[in-house]
């Protein structure tokens, strides 16, 4: 097994003590013992230099040399023969603390945008697992330099602070922005163009819209795995929610089609209030209503025809999401979330 693969296995099984010790060893080893090309030294070599007593949590200094950063980035992002890097394993397993530690140690937004050999993105994995906390962290780290500057200073933003800053980079008052130069409308939101906010909004949109395995976006992954809270998170940060909820994968299916096929009525309701097109047809000419009827999913059939004004509106859903993030929730459970 490769050294990166061995580290990935430690993350997969959640061996926090050894992971912390190995990261501490990379920080404390003489640089002459670290390869210049970023290839991680063997884990055997690292474990021979573990600090005594072992550190419960590695202390990351404000400045980490490029050679050490290179080792970290390779260790965290190199795919195993089965295609999953240590970061991907951490995301899939919902190990928020380990994912955060690896991002803070690697200090490079390219870690967030990395793909598996089959094309899966980390955000797609987080959406599949329903980990709102990890998805929020990935989106924030991948779209703003604020995360990395805070990490260098040893500061950590709360999840709700991260989410609020992303919303601020995306949303401005529609009325006041209508006549401002340098701004364009996209769906229901106004995106600032140019400057740091424009770059952050563009980076955020790129992560949300990234094509994954078989053309699936993170919103497809959230729907396919029946993750309503994660779905609200993605829609709350989309520049054009109506487009995001109607985008197609390589099979020609929209998220609404997928929710209808799976029988996920709650996801159908959320997609509808964020603007999903119920009249969209598959390549075979079937609407979501027809798919639900063929699959005999009565709740989905009801969800597709319920008056929109009787469903919980986007603003209310976003307020509930903010409350859950403020309380430190979002690990995967809905936690009192009410989308009906």
User: Average pLDDT in the 312-328 region?
Assistant: 92
pLDDT tens digit sequence for 262-290: 999 999 999 999 999 999 999 999 999 99
How far apart, in whole angstroms, are the C-alpha atoms of residue 303 and residue 307?
A: 9
Average pLDDT, the chain: 83
Pairing mode, if any, of strands 189-192 and 183-186? antiparallel
Percent of the chain residues topping a pLDDT of 90: 50
Q: What Cα–Cα distance (Å) separates residue 88 from each residue in 106, 170, 218?
A: 14, 27, 14
pLDDT of 81 > 50? The answer is: yes
* Local structure of residue 121 (DSSP, 8 states): B
pLDDT of 184 > 80? The answer is: no
Res 208: pLDDT: 94
pLDDT top residue among 196 and 177: 196
User: Average pLDDT in the 201-208 region?
Assistant: 91
Res 329: pLDDT: 64
Alpha helical stretches, state H, 114-240: 122-129, 132-143, 145-152, 159-170, 174-177, 195-208, 218-224, 228-236
pLDDT of 225 > 70? The answer is: yes
Q: Which residues pair with 192 in a beta bridge?
A: 183
Percent of the chain residues topping a pLDDT of 70: 81
Res 151: pLDDT: 76
pLDDT tens digit sequence for 38-54: 676 677 776 666 656 65
Q: At what angle do helices 265-273 and 228-236 cross, to 10 degrees?
A: 10
Cβ neighbourhood burial of 37 (10 Å; 0-12, 13-18, 19+): exposed
Domain ranges of the chain: 7-79
- pLDDT tier at 183 (50, 70, 90 boundaries)? very low
């Amino acid at each position: 097994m490769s050294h990166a693969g061995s580290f990935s296995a430690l993350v997969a099984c959640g061996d926090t003590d050894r992971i912390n010790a190995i990261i501490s060893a990379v920080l404390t080893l003489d640089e002459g013992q670290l390869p210049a090309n970023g290839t991680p030294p063997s884990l055997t070599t690292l474990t021979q230099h573990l600090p005594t007593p072992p550190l419960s949590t590695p202390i990351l200094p404000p400045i980490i040399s490029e050679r050490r950063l290179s080792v970290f980035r390779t260790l965290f992002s190199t795919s195993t023969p089965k295609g999953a890097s240590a970061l991907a394993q951490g995301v899939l397993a919902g190990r928020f603390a380990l994912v955060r530690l690896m991002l803070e140690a690697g200090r490079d937004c390219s870690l967030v945008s990395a793909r598996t050999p089959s094309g899966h993105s980390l955000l797609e994995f987080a959406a599949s697992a329903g980990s709102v906390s990890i998805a929020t962290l990935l989106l924030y780290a991948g779209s703003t330099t604020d995360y990395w500057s805070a990490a260098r200073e040893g500061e950590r933003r709360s999840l709700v602070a991260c989410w609020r800053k992303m919303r601020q980079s995306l949303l401005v008052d529609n009325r006041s922005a209508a006549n401002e130069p340098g701004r364009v409308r996209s769906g229901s939101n106004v995106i600032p163009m140019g400057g740091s906010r424009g770059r952050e909004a563009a980076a955020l949109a790129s992560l949300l819209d990234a094509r994954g395995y078989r053309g699936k976006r993170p919103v497809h992954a959230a729907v396919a795995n029946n993750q309503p809270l994660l779905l609200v998170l993605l829609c709350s940060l989309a520049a054009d929610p109506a487009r995001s909820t109607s985008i197609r994968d390589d099979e020609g299916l929209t998220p609404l089609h997928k929710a209808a096929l799976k029988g996920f009525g709650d996801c159908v309701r959320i997609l509808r209030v964020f603007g999903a097109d119920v009249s969209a047809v598959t390549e075979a000419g079937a609407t979501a209503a027809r798919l639900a009827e063929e699959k005999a999913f009565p709740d989905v059939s009801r969800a597709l025809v319920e008056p929109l004004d009787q469903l919980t509106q986007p603003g209310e859903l976003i307020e509930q999401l903010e409350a859950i993030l403020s309380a430190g929730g979002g690990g995967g459970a809905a936690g009192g979330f009410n989308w009906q």
